[in-house]
């Protein structure tokens, strides 16, 4: 019996290192870095994971544990979510959050990464690949949308926002929840034509019973040159809960494709030929 238990024993859980990244507008981002590679391990493309609205780094605990013995997995708590702070920015937008993700890569000295994004994080992955192409080797999105109308259930979100607004006087944290709901109600507004700029490998995933409308997923996949659309049978919006094996399989396939491209070498005009600088020349974010 003991021998059987040992044979099926799970690997010891890797505890992430926590880094602090400060944005130029005063937000403090908690960044959880899972990296259990041996000191003499060969260089491997890191993975940046971006969680959904109101989530945290814990959304990616399973896949981080699965990948971190072969490559670094970088998982920030996004602005005003998890234990990260809001900063002094005006309205929250997905462009702002994508810029935060680019700042995280800058601060950690990560020139390029494969990006896995869920829901809001999928939107941010699309914007990273479009606007910060030099930092992105490939993307896997799960349940992303281009416009608020691409999501079912927005009337419920509006009702929830109104409820949280009514509670702000007694419960200050309710304002945070209301603002995050308003982000989904007002944004994003991504032109499909603008995604023609995405030059890296892209896998666009959704569940068969996703809250993202099927035609919205199709619009994203059709807009990105060479993108692969994957609809997971029987799954809903939360693919990491409903189909973790399918997600890991697609992430590994995307990484292999991105690393093959890096091994072949890039031309001087290829957006993946990078020194890690932000495409917009914006300020880097300090880390500690």
- For 55, the domain range is 13-147+189-264
**Looking at the structure, do residues 49 and 164 belong to the same domain, yes or no?**
no
Same structural domain, 59 and 137: yes
Determine, yes or no, domain membership for 239.
Answer: yes
pLDDT of 172 above 50:
yes
DSSP string, the chain: -HHHHHHTPPPPPPPPEEEEEE-TTS-EEEEEEE----TTPPP---EEEE--TT--GGGGHHHHHHHTTTS-EEEEPPTTSTT----S-SS--HHHHHHHHHHHHHHHT---EEEEEETHHHHHHHHHHHH-GGGEEEEEEES--SSGGGBTTHHHHHHHHHHHHHTTTT-THHHHHHHHHHHHHH-----GGGGGG--S-EEEEEETT-SB-HHHHHHHHHHSTT-EEEEETT--S-HHHH-HHHHHHHHHHHHHHHHHHHHH---TT-TT---S--TT-PPP--B-
Structure tokens belonging to residue 48: 């940046």
Separation between Cα atoms, residue 78 and residue 82, nearest integer Å: 7
Residue 141: pLDDT band (50, 70, 90) is very high
**Partners of residue 34 on adjacent β-strands:** 73
pLDDT one-digit tens code per residue, 106-118: 999 999 999 999 9
Per-residue model confidence as pLDDT tens digits over 225-266: 999 999 999 999 999 999 999 999 999 999 999 998 766 554
62 and 140 fall within a common domain: yes
Judged on CB neighbours under 10 Å (0-12, 13-18, 19+), 42 is: exposed
φ, ψ for residue 121, nearest 5 deg: -65, -30
Residue 2 lies in a domain: no
Q: Identify whether 1 is part of a domain.
A: no
pTM here?
A: 0.91
* Percent of the chain clearing pLDDT 70 (strictly above): 89
Please indicate, yes or no, whether residues 156 and 194 belong to a single structural domain of this protein.
no
Other beta carbons less than 10 A from residue 4's beta carbon: 8
Within this chain, do residues 54 and 44 fall inside the same structural domain, yes or no? yes
Task: Please give the mean pLDDT across all residues of the chain.
Answer: 92
Which of 187, 215, 246 is the C-terminal boundary of a domain? 187
pLDDT at 196 over 90: yes
Encode pLDDT of 53-92 as tens digits: 999 999 999 999 999 999 999 999 999 999 999 999 999 9
Residue 181 has pLDDT above 60, yes or no: yes
CA 105 to chain CA centroid, Å, is 12
pLDDT for residue 22 is more than 90: yes
- 22 to 95, 116, 203: CA distances (angstroms): 17, 22, 30
Give me the number of domains the chain comprises: 2
Contact in structure between 31 and 18 (CB atoms under 8 Å): yes
- d(CA 9, CA 121) in angstroms, rounded, equals 32
Q: Answer whether residue 7 is part of any domain.
A: no
Note whether residue 118 is domain-resident.
Answer: yes
Statement to judge: residues 169 and 66 lie in one domain: no
Same domain, yes or no: 134 and 229: yes
């Amino acid at each position: 019996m003991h021998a059987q238990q040992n044979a099926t024993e799970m690997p010891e859980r890797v505890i992430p290192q926590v880094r602090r990244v400060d944005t130029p507008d005063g937000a403090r981002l908690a960044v959880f870095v899972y990296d259990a590679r041996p000191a003499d391990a060969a260089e491997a493309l890191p993975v940046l994971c971006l969680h959904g609205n109101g989530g945290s780094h814990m959304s990616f605990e399973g896949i981080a544990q699965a990948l971190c013995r072969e490559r670094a997995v970088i998982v920030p708590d996004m602005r005003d979510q998890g234990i990260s702070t809001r900063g002094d920015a005006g309205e929250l937008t997905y462009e702002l959050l994508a810029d935060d993700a680019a700042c995280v890569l800058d601060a950690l000295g990560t020139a390029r990464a494969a990006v896995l994004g869920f829901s809001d994080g999928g939107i941010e992955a699309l914007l990273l690949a479009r606007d910060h192409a030099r930092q992105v080797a490939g993307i896997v999105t799960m349940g992303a949308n281009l416009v608020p109308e691409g999501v079912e259930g927005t009337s419920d979100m509006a009702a929830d926002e109104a409820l949280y607004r009514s509670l702000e006087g007694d419960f200050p944290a309710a304002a945070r929840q209301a603002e995050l709901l308003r982000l989904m109600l007002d944004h994003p507004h991504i032109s499909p034509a603008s995604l023609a700029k995405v030059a890296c490998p892209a896998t666009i995933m959704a569940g068969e019973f996703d809250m993202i409308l099927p035609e919205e997923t199709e619009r994203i996949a059709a807009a990105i040159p060479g993108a692969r659309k994957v609809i997971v049978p029987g799954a809903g919006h939360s693919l990491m809960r409903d189909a973790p094996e399918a997600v890991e399989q697609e992430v590994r396939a995307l990484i292999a494709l991105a690393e093959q491209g890096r091994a072949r070498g890039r031309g001087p005009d290829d957006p993946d030929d990078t020194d890690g600088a932000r495409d917009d020349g914006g300020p880097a974010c300090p880390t500690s």
